[in-house]
Amino acid sequence: MIRQISGVAVARAVWCFVALAYVTVQLVVVSAWPVPYEFLHHTVSDLGWTECTTEQRPVGVLESCSPRHALFNAGTAVLSVLLAAGGVALRPVYSGRRRTWAILCLWVLIGASGVATALVPGNVDIALHSLLAIPLFLGQLLVLVLIATSTRRTAPVIAVSAAVAAAVSLAGSVGLGFALAGYGPVGLTERLSAETIYIWILLVALVGTGRQSPSGTPSAASFSASSSLGGR
Residue 4 has pLDDT above 60, yes or no: no
Q: What is the mean pLDDT of residues 212-221?
A: 43
Nearest partner of 145 among 131, 117, 164, judged by Cα: 164
Write down the pLDDT at residue 223. Answer: 33
User: Phi first, then psi: what are they for 218, rounded to 5°?
Assistant: -55, 135
* pLDDT tens by residue, 136-171: 999 999 999 999 999 988 888 899 999 999 999 999
Q: What is the mean pLDDT of residues 20-49?
A: 96
Write down the pLDDT at residue 96. Answer: 85
Residues 6 or more apart in contact with residue 213 via CB below 8 angstroms:
219, 220
Mean pLDDT of the chain: 88
Least confident of 11-25, 72-86, 109-123, 202-216: 202-216
Nearest partner of 203 among 3, 11, 5, 1, judged by Cα: 11
pLDDT-based confidence at 56, cuts 50/70/90? confident
Least confident of 52-61, 85-94, 98-107, 156-165: 52-61
- CA-to-CA separations, 170 to 32, 80, 173, 175, in angstroms, rounded: 32, 20, 5, 8
Write down the pLDDT at residue 231. Answer: 44
Residue 3 has pLDDT above 60, yes or no: no
Is the whole model's pTM more than 0.75, yes or no?
Answer: yes
| 221 vs 210: CA distance, rounded Å | 10
Write down the pLDDT at residue 182. Answer: 86
